[in-house]
Structure 1
Amino acid sequence: MIWFDASLEKQADDDLLRRSIATVLNIDTDSVDVIHDIMQIADMPITCLVASESFADYSQIVSIYHSGDLHPPPILEAASQLARLLRRSLLMANDETANPYSFILISSTGESSVVLVDPDELDKNGRYVITSHAPVAGEQSQGS
């Protein structure tokens, strides 16, 4: 079953993805399969499907799947640890809103914020261009 999708700020090679995902889940790297075509999916505890549209920022999309036997940590917690291990920020869908241009940006240090991306760039060019930041729900802004 799908665990989560993320768009990486910069490309990561298969070995770095495999090692980082294994560390997040505290499993052996041999239990993580990194593939580039959904037709390659096999019966592994963890599969990371990698799709790269270009070399632009946030153009490498990783979809992480897990077997029903594995009980991964909460998604935001895992994504924060993954961003730190990969040493790059990542964008994830913001499921707290119906706005399709709202994402959660997790920095390379694991901090999260809500961002908006340029609708025209995303719709016309498939590019994630961040236009504004907002605090994550529950965080107070500096002036409060």
Structure 2
Amino acid sequence: MIWFDAALESPVDDGLLRRCIATLLNIPSENVDVVHSLSKIKDAPATCVVEDRGSDSYSQLITVYVSESLPCPYVLDAAAQLARMFAKSLLLVDDATANPYSFVCVSSAGQHSVVLVDPNELDKNNRYVIREPAGGRC
């Protein structure tokens, strides 16, 4: 099952992704696969699918899949811990609204706030550009 999706402020290497996800789930890092294609998913207890969309901010997308039997922390708590471990902010879908341009931005300090991304950039260029709050930062 999908645990969560996130867009990272800047790219993180596969080894760091593996170690950090293992820490979050309290499992050995060898039980976490990091792949760059859905077709590469096997039967690991946890898998992180990475999609790199370029060099812009928030262009590395990760989707974390976990086995049904694996207990997972609450998504916002896990995202805050990941952001602190990566020392980078990340964007999560804002499930509290139907607005497709609303995201939860988790800062590198683990604080979260709701931000809006530029609709044109997302729709036309598939880029996450923070429009609000003013200044484009979380």
Same fold (TM over 0.5): yes
Aligned twin of 2:25: 25
Aligned length: 134
Aligned twin of 1:100: 100
Aligned twin of 1:43: 43
In structure 1, the gaps of 5 or more residues are 135-144
Aligned twin of 1:142: none
Contact 1:105/1:115, CA 8 A, preserved across alignment: yes
What is the Cα deviation at residue 56 of structure 1? 0.6
* Higher Cα Rg, which structure: 1
Aligned twin of 2:119: 119
Matches within 5 A, 1:46-125: 46-125=46-125
Partners of 2:14 and 2:129 in 1: CA distance: 25
What is the Cα deviation at residue 94 of structure 1? 0.2
Letter aligned with residue 121 of structure 1:
E
What is the Cα deviation at residue 133 of structure 1? 2.9
User: Structure 2 length normalisation: TM-score?
Assistant: 0.95
Calculate percent identity across the aligned residue pairs. 56
Shift >6 Å, 4+ stretches: none
Partners of 2:117 and 2:43 in 1: CA distance: 35
Contact 1:113/1:133, CA 8 A, preserved across alignment: no
User: Structure 1 length normalisation: TM-score?
Assistant: 0.91
Q: Secondary structure at the match of 2:63?
A: strand
Letter aligned with residue 29 of structure 1:
S
Partners of 2:133 and 2:70 in 1: CA distance: 34
What is the Cα deviation at residue 25 of structure 1? 1.3
